């Protein structure tokens, strides 16, 4: 860990931690999943939900109530699709849709937040409507977007490069490793 002599060291991720200590440090989803398996904690959901369940388990309290499942187990679109194809309820941003949109829009197409929302909430609309939505949202999509709190690495890299436009990826990743190995806040007490 470089020249952080005397700095607090990140603990080993284990059942011996408290929920508070778990929340003080950065952990990858893969690391949290291993601990969840060890503790018998359900591993589904996102990183934030898993972290909450692990904190509860480590502190010996009841886990938070699981949110209701929002995704429909409906059928997914299969190729071939065209502009008249209707988006079914529960459709995901699949390779079938990616291939269709790349054919219609071009290689620059990608599923951004606006398109993911359109597909998720677009039941009953057509793929032609989705293409029109993509084209109509490009100006707004070109503006800086908020990066969700669950994407800590992406947020760090955006801010790091804003401060160091000539910085290299190697330097940025080294800075990230140093950042994630520091506690998020001081120890309680």
DSSP string, 29-88: HHHHHHHHHHHT----S-HHHHHHHHHHHHHTSPPPPPPPP-S--PPPP-SS--TTPBPP
Instruction: Tell me the per-residue pLDDT of 120-158, one tens digit each, with 9 for 90 and over.
Output: 999 999 999 999 999 999 988 777 777 776 778 888 998
Output the average pLDDT for the chain.
Answer: 88
Residues pairing with 126 in the sheet = 86
Segment 31-40 mean pLDDT: 94
* pLDDT at site 94: 94
> 26, 40 in Cβ contact below 8 A?
no
């Amino acid at each position: 860990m470089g020249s952080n002599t005397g700095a607090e060291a990140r603990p080993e991720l284990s059942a011996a931690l408290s929920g508070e200590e778990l929340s003080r440090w950065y952990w990858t989803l893969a690391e949290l999943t291993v601990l969840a398996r060890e503790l018998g904690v359900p591993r589904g959901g996102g990183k934030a939900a898993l972290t909450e369940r692990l904190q509860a388990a480590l502190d010996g309290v009841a886990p938070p109530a699981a949110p209701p499942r929002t995704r429909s187990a409906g059928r997914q679109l299969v190729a071939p699709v065209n502009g008249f194809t209707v988006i079914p309820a529960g459709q995901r941003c699949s390779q079938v849709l990616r291939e269709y949109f790349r054919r219609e829009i071009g290689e620059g197409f990608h599923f951004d937040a606006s398109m993911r929302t359109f597909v998720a909430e677009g039941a009953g609309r057509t793929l032609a409507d989705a293409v029109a939505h993509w084209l109509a949202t490009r100006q707004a999509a070109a503006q800086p977007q908020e990066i969700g709190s669950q994407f800590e690495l992406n947020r760090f890299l955006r801010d790091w490069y804003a401060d160091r436009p000539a910085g290299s990826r190697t330097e940025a990743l080294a800075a990230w490793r140093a950042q994630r190995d520091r506690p998020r806040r001081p120890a309680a007490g």
